[in-house]
Amino acid sequence: MRCVVGIIGSLTLLASLPSTASAYEEQATLSLEVGYAGMPATETLPRNGVDVGLVAGGGLGDAWSIQGLLSYNVFPNERPLHLGMAGLETVYALDIVRFVPLIGFGVDGLLTVRDRGTRGDFALHVLLGVDYLIDQRWFIGADVRGYWVATNAASPLDPFILTVGARVGVRFDLH
């Protein structure tokens, strides 16, 4: 009888202890983003465009994650500018139940195509965003990324590019 009481007491004690929280380190995300792209200070290139992106990431810890992003921007006019971006960013998520503010930074490679000419550039960016968790699997969000084109001295691009997007995504458990 003492053995049964000891086992039940031990299980009760273990059940009452708080479990370790694990959020982002055991999850991967995939999202599709659509929005605005702009080069506000340019005088020789089209200023306003459309941004379409794909973002995939995985957790590094309970609040940090790393994401890869691919995006395509088109700046239409009589001589349209096409801009492809591939980047890697670290993101800190302040998980507040359903609303999740995001802040991050990253590095990017850019490929510009205009008038059959192509050029590669390097950029750094800052991310500010928010996600709304619809349920355990699906989320919607919005973000702003400000890009500084580090190679802008030799590039036809404006030194600052801005994207503002809305996205829908899905979360996958990795365990």
Structure confidence by residue, pLDDT tens digits, 35-69: 999 998 877 788 899 999 999 999 888 889 999 99
47 pairs with which residues across the strands?
Answer: none
With beta carbons less than 8 A apart as the criterion, state whether 37 and 77 touch.
no
- The answer to whether residue 5 sits within a structural domain is no
Residue 3 has pLDDT above 60, yes or no: no
- The answer to whether residue 95 sits within a structural domain is yes
Q: What is the CATH number of the domain that holds 153?
A: 2.40.160.20
Average pLDDT over residues 128-134: 94
- The answer to whether residue 13 sits within a structural domain is no
Average pLDDT over residues 124-137: 94
- The answer to whether residue 12 sits within a structural domain is no
pLDDT digits (tens, 9 = 90+) for 71-120: 999 999 888 999 999 999 999 998 777 899 999 999 999 999 988 888 99
- The answer to whether residue 3 sits within a structural domain is no
- The answer to whether residue 165 sits within a structural domain is yes
- Predicted TM-score of the model (pTM): 0.81
The range of the structural domain enclosing residue 116 comes to 20-173
- The answer to whether residue 10 sits within a structural domain is no
Q: Which of 73, 86, 167 is nearest to 120 (CA)?
A: 86
As a whole number of angstroms, the longest Cα–Cα distance in the chain is 88
Q: What type of residue sits at position 129?
A: G
Q: What is the per-residue pLDDT for 18?
A: 46
Considering the chain, what is the average pLDDT of its residues?
A: 86
- The answer to whether residue 6 sits within a structural domain is no
In total, how many domains does the chain have?
A: 1
